[in-house]
């Protein structure tokens, strides 16, 4: 299986149960999410499996952040992560 | 005019495995049972494996001969159930009338929806691909039988529409056994009348068909003419339990009645536990026997009184086996099924006097249920189970997706 990377995520849950990821950690670096562009159930084409797919904007990049059935967050490929400029 | 969809997940088990592990995509993949427990047959195969000639139901070694690069993946029933549930959730976005037909097929009645059947089919296919990573074939028609035929016509990931105007061109030239419920025996009988296609059956004389096939013949002929009016049952109605059964292939062949008795008690106990869990009792017990040459037969009898007791069911099953199995060959698989079910929640016709032995047996089985619920199915067993090697590694409740014998027969 290609690099499914499980990550630490800070997320907000509103009164309606809507979950919005705000930041996640890669290699102990905190990456701030600038906005959630889309959210839908989806198949993780590159890594396999499926879950709720959040298209999150980090700087100029849009990346997929998945929340799987076991409530774990993952990124599909580490390459996605490396391209992200670290914040904070 | 109704709009019925029949959706069939393509190579379901193999597709789910590929959706979970992208490394399997495009490879000849087969999902198989556990060879150590003699469940070593091909349960499902991917499209590339199918091209090599791998067949569902054949032994692993046969499949490997045809396709040496075949990748074998052990079956994971829970995973497939999870995907099946997700798939049904997609269907329910369009209608509550979703009737499952096995794990990977469902009928949907979308009559009156603002979108056309074809548009809904396209959206469902798209959702299955994007959300679950699997493909489905969908038949759209005005009745269930033709919708099912449609979903078989083009695979994978395709929609086939059969309308009142085109069914004679599309359906009638097909061989008659493509029709739902036409099996080998019916096909042979129809062939004797020189009826080979669905169109032949539709146009045949009603009286002749009735004489040869009886009432079933009339039904089949109605199907062939596109006059099937059976409704799509919503999930709650469809899931009403009609029978509770369990079958197993033992790790070693069963050579005598003593061995068979142990397996029958094991199966009957698990059937009875499930009956009790559903607050049901059965009136009819059937036993299914398959010998080492894979010939199977099923026999049934009525109990004197409805029962949810493992001992009652096992005794009836054993009596049937004694009466009908001549032991010319060892047994490979056995199944026990309780049907003609009655609810035990409401009124039950009680005998005037229940012997103390029966009362003790009931209390004992209730205690067994408790112990098994807490510590697992193998935590307590009948002493009988220790005798036969055939039953040592069996755990019917945990090992199997339990289903009726009729479903087993289909797999042969």
Q: Tens of pLDDT along B62-111?
A: 898 999 999 999 999 889 999 999 999 999 999 989 999 888 999 999 99
* Number of domains forming the structure of chain A: 1
| H runs (alpha helix) in B204-285 | 206-224, 235-238, 257-277
pLDDT in tens, B166-176: 999 999 999 99
pLDDT, residue B366, reads: 83
pLDDT exceeds 70 at position B388: no
Q: Do A48 and B19 touch (CB under 8 A)?
A: yes
Mutate which: A43, A45, A46, vs B, most B CBs within 10 A: A43
Which is the catalytic residue, given B58, B105, B239, B257? B105
Residue percentage of chain B with pLDDT more than 70? 89
Give the nearest partner residue to B22 out of A2, A40, A41, using CB atoms: A2
Taking the C-alpha atoms of residue B114 and residue A32, their distance in angstroms, rounded to an integer, is: 42
- Segment B3-61, tens digit of pLDDT: 999 999 999 999 999 999 999 999 999 998 876 666 678 888 999 999 999 998 888 88
Chain B residue with the nearest C-alpha to that of A40 = B131
Read off the tokens for B123. 């959206």
pLDDT on residue A84 = 63
B93 touches chain A (CB under 8 A): no
The CATH code of domain B242-411 reads 3.30.1490.100
Label residue B169 exposed, middle or buried (CB < 10 Å: 0-12, 13-18, 19+). Answer: exposed
At B214 the pLDDT is 87
State ipTM: 0.77
B132 touches chain A (CB under 8 A): yes
pLDDT value at residue B401 = 36
Residue A87, domain member (yes or no): no
Cα–Cα distance measured from residue B52 to residue A77, given in angstroms and rounded to the nearest whole number = 33
Interface of A with B (CB under 8 A): 1-2, 40-50, 69
Residue A88 belongs to a domain = no
Of the CATH numbers 1.10.150.20, 3.30.930.10, 3.90.226.10, 3.40.50.1260, which one belongs to the domain with range B172-224? Answer: 1.10.150.20
Name the average pLDDT for chain A.
86
Q: What is the pLDDT of residues B178-190, one digit of tens each?
A: 988 888 888 998 9
CA distance linking residue A45 with residue B130, whole number of Å: 8
Asked, for residue A52, whether it belongs to a domain, the answer is yes
Shortest distance between the Cα of A49 and any Cα of chain B, in A, equals 4
Residue B291 CA to residue B329 CA, distance in Å, equals 6
In chain B, which residues have their Cβ closer than 8 Å to the Cβ of A50? 19, 86, 131-133
* Nearest chain A alpha carbon to B131: A42
Residue B162 has which token pair?
Answer: 């059969």
B124 in contact with chain A, both atoms CB, cutoff 8 A:
no
d(Cα B71, Cα B42) in Å, to the nearest integer?
11
Q: Do B20 and A49 touch (CB under 8 A)?
A: yes
Range of the domain at A56: 5-82
Q: Where in chain B is the domain with CATH 1.10.150.20?
A: 172-224
pLDDT recorded at residue B402: 35
Q: Is B105 among the residues known to form the active site?
A: yes
Spell out which residues of chain A touch residue B20, defining contact as CB-CB under 8 Å: 48-49
Instruction: Give CA angle at B8 (B5, B12), nearest 5°.
Output: 160
Q: Where in chain B is the domain with CATH 3.40.1170.60?
A: 13-78
Is it the case that residue B390 has pLDDT exceeding 60? no
Q: Does A57 fall in a domain?
A: yes
CATH pick for B13-78 out of 3.30.390.10, 3.40.630.10, 2.40.30.170, 3.40.1170.60: 3.40.1170.60
Residue of B87, B124, B130 to mutate for A, most A C-beta atoms under 10 A: B130
- Residue B279: closest CA among B229, B348, B193: B348
Q: Does the residue A42 lie in any domain?
A: yes
Q: Where are the beta strands (DSSP E) in A14-86?
A: 19-26, 29-32, 35-43, 50-58, 61-67, 73-75
């Amino acid at each position: 299986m290609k690099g499914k990377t499980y990550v630490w995520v800070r997320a907000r849950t509103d009164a309606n149960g809507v979950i919005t990821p705000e930041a996640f950690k890669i290699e102990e670096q905190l990456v701030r999410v600038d906005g959630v562009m889309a959210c839908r159930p989806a198949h993780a084409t590159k890594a396999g499996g499926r879950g709720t797919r959040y298209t999150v904007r980090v700087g100029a990049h849009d990346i997929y952040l998945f929340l799987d059935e076991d409530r774990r967050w993952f990124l599909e490929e580490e390459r996605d992560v490396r391209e992200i400029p670290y914040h904070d | 005019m109704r709009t019925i969809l029949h959706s069939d997940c393509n190579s379901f088990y193999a597709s789910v495995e590929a959706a979970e592990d992208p490394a399997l995509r495009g490879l000849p993949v087969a999902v198989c049972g556990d060879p150590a427990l003699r469940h070593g047959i091909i349960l499902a195969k991917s499209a590339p494996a199918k091209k090599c000639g791998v067949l569902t139901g054949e032994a692993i070694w046969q499949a490997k001969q045809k396709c040496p690069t075949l990748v074998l993946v052990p079956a994971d029933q829970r995973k497939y159930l999870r995907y099946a549930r997700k798939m049904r959730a997609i269907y329910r976005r369009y209608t509550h009338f979703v009737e499952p037909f096995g794990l990977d097929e469902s009928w949907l009645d979308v009559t009156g929806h603002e979108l056309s059947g074809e548009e809904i089919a396209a959206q469902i296919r798209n959702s299955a691909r994007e959300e679950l990573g699997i493909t489905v074939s969908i038949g759209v028609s005005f009745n269930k039988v033709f919708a099912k035929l449609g979903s078989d016509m083009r695979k994978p990931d395709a929609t086939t529409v059969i309308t009142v105007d085109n069914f004679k061109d599309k359906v009638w030239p097909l061989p008659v056994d493509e029709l739902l419920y036409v099996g080998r025996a019916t096909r042979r009988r129809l062939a004797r009348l020189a009826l080979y296609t669905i169109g032949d059956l539709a146009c045949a004389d009603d009286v002749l068909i009735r004489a040869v096939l009886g009432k079933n013949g009339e039904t089949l002929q109605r199907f062939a003419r596109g006059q099937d009016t059976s409704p799509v049952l919503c999930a709650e109605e469809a899931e009403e339990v009609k029978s509770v059964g369990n079958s197993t292939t033992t790790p070693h062949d069963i050579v005598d009645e003593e061995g068979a008795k142990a397996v029958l008690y094991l199966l009957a106990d698990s059937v009875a536990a499930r009956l009790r869990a559903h607050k049901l009792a059965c009136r009819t017990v059937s036993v299914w026997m398959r010998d080492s040459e894979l010939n199977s037969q099923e026999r049934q009898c009525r109990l004197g009184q409805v029962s949810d007791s493992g001992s009652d069911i096992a005794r009836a099953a054993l009596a049937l086996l004694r009466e009908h199995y001549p032991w010319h060959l060892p047994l490979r698989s056995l199944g026990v099924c309780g049907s003609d079910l009655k609810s035990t929640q409401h009124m039950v016709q009680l005998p005037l006097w229940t012997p103390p032995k029966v009362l003790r047996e009931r209390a004992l089985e209730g205690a067994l249920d408790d112990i098994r619920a807490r510590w697992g199915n193998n935590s307590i067993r009948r002493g009988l189970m220790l005798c036969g090697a055939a039953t040592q590694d069996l755990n019917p409740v945990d090992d199997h997706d339990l289903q009726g014998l009729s479903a087993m027969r289909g797999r042969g």
